[in-house]
Amino acid sequence: MATRRLCLVPCIFGLLLNALVGVTSGAELSFTLEPSDIIAVQEQPLMLHCQVDGIPPITTQWRRNGILLVDDQYYTMFHNGTLLIGRFQRTKSDGSTDEGDYECVGQNSFGLVVSRRARVQAATMAEFHVQPRSVRAEEAGVGRFQCQIHGLPEPAISWEKDGRSVDTKDERYTLLPTGVLQITGLRQEDSGVFCCVAHNSAGVKHSAGARLTVSVSQSSVYKEPMILVGPENLTLTVHQTAILECVATGYPRPIVSWSRLDGRPIGVEGIQVLGTGNLMITDVGVQHSGVYVCAANKPGTRVRRTAQGRLVVQAPAEFVQPPQSISRPVGTTAIFTCQAQGDPVPQLTWLKNGADPGAWRSRQAQEQQHHADHLWHQSGGRSHLPVHR
């Protein structure tokens, strides 16, 4: 009797201890800091940060495109988890690159976690793929110049007229965040050579010049309202800014108004009119998706022209229900549930100790004697992971 009791006490104590370790001190590893996407500047140092919380000792390592990095002439890994790339190079002498997807790996004796993938790209600036084109317009009409250039980060656009910055304080001049320059109520003195200037961390570029010629108009001759440029179809992600352009001409000057094709109100919050008729929606949400109609009306009449563009707002994936840690006796079933939302509907994948499901399944095949059997159930945005042993 006495010996049995002596045996029981440590056994129960052991179970309790296990439960306490599992519940209170968080045997699971978690990230308190994960690396974020970065646009790197050539030949400059670059740091990626990572911090893992859990039972020590914890080691952190880094992978680039899935391959473990070693501390060498290019990379320094600090004890606090930070990775330093001493001199970022898009193309190194050996043909390799520092660009890629970086992830941080945290490990202790309980397991291993892999951070989000941080995309590291070099700042770049291409050549202009849309150059401004020369225009002729009548006095009191509208002039519009456009230039387009790809770059990382997105280049900021400004304009020069005859070699000097255009005066955007003049309310006849509207510079849209898309880089388009509109000049309304044209005057003779607006004639000149316009050039667009693109600027980002990779450098500065000037476009070719384009001439604006303002001709004398036969004013007070009736001209039908006309839409010179209507809104484009746009696909954005939530929190971005939508610019819906609308440039109308005619005499008398037409009145520009906006509506939604579905009849729902456009609202006021975050909505701004730029220049004479462009619509700007800041911090877009999925509720802003829809077809927007720009109408140019001859004042005091029902004579109108319209143009329309579709705005699609997508929402990035977000966890609604992340999996919870569980303890189960041997021989029973464990089910992990994970739910995410987004637009389009996100796809879910599972990792075990940082390994992708393929590797994990093949490891399972070697553990046949345990009759391991993992099943995947997926239904309507939910993903269950039952584990039988």
Ligand X SMILES: *[C@@H]1O[C@H](CO)[C@@H](O)[C@H](O)[C@H]1NC(C)=O
Residue 22, SS3?
helix
Query: What is the closest distance, in whole angstroms, from the C-beta atom of residue 80 to ligand X in the complex?
Result: 4
Query: What is the closest distance, in whole angstroms, from the C-beta atom of residue 86 to ligand X in the complex?
Result: 12
d(CA 222, CA 225): 9
Query: What is the closest distance, in whole angstroms, from the C-beta atom of residue 260 to ligand X in the complex?
Result: 14
Question: Which of 44, 95, 96, 37 is CA-nearest to residue 69?
Answer: 96
Q: Does 233 bind ligand X (CB under 6 A)?
A: yes
For ligand X, the binding residues in 86-125 under the rule CB under 6 A are none
What does the per-residue mask of binding to ligand X show for 294-323, with x meaning CB under 6 A?
Answer: ----------------x-------------
Options 71, 167, 224, 232; binder of ligand X; rule CB under 6 A: 232
Query: How far from 169 is each of 174, 341, 379, CA to CA, in Å?
Result: 9, 44, 56
Q: Does 260 bind ligand X (CB under 6 A)?
A: no
Task: Give me Rg for the CA atoms of the chain.
Answer: 31
Query: How far from 190 is each of 139, 185, 248, 257, 304, CA to CA, in Å?
Result: 10, 10, 19, 27, 29
Query: How far from 314 is each of 235, 263, 284, CA to CA, in Å?
Result: 7, 21, 9
Please answer whether residues 110 and 54 qualify as being in contact, where contact means their C-beta atoms are separated by less than 8 angstroms: yes
Looking at the Cβ atoms of 82 and 200, the one nearer to ligand X is 82
Residue 37, SS3?
coil
Query: What is the closest distance, in whole angstroms, from the C-beta atom of residue 308 to ligand X in the complex?
Result: 8
For ligand X, the binding residues in 61-90 under the rule CB under 6 A are 78, 80, 82
Looking at the Cβ atoms of 178 and 325, the one nearer to ligand X is 178
d(CA 271, CA 293): 15
Task: Tell me the backbone φ, ψ of residue 239, rounded to 5 degrees.
Answer: 80, -5
Query: What is the closest distance, in whole angstroms, from the C-beta atom of residue 102 to ligand X in the complex?
Result: 15
Please answer whether residues 55 and 106 qualify as being in contact, where contact means their C-beta atoms are separated by less than 8 angstroms: no
Question: Residues touching ligand X: how many (CB under 6 A)?
Answer: 7
Please answer whether residues 248 and 257 qualify as being in contact, where contact means their C-beta atoms are separated by less than 8 angstroms: no
Task: Tell me the backbone φ, ψ of residue 332, rounded to 5 degrees.
Answer: -105, -175
Question: Running DSSP on this structure, what letter comes out for residue 65?
Answer: T
Burial 181-208 (b: 16+ CB within 10 A, else e): bbbbebeeebbbebbbbbebbbeebebe
Please answer whether residues 202 and 88 qualify as being in contact, where contact means their C-beta atoms are separated by less than 8 angstroms: no
Q: Does 36 bind ligand X (CB under 6 A)?
A: no
Query: What is the closest distance, in whole angstroms, from the C-beta atom of residue 82 to ligand X in the complex?
Result: 4
Query: What is the closest distance, in whole angstroms, from the C-beta atom of residue 152 to ligand X in the complex?
Result: 24
Query: What is the closest distance, in whole angstroms, from the C-beta atom of residue 230 to ligand X in the complex?
Result: 7
d(CA 265, CA 255): 19
Task: Tell me the backbone φ, ψ of residue 167, rounded to 5 degrees.
Answer: -85, 95
Query: What is the closest distance, in whole angstroms, from the C-beta atom of residue 279 to ligand X in the complex?
Result: 15
Q: Does 49 bind ligand X (CB under 6 A)?
A: yes
Query: What is the closest distance, in whole angstroms, from the C-beta atom of residue 293 to ligand X in the complex?
Result: 12
Looking at the Cβ atoms of 170 and 232, the one nearer to ligand X is 232
Looking at the Cβ atoms of 78 and 376, the one nearer to ligand X is 78
Tokens of 156: 């900021």
Q: Does 44 bind ligand X (CB under 6 A)?
A: no
Query: How far from 323 is each of 107, 265, 334, 385, CA to CA, in Å?
Result: 19, 40, 12, 10
Contacts with ligand X by CB under 6 A lie at: 49, 78, 80, 82, 232-233, 310
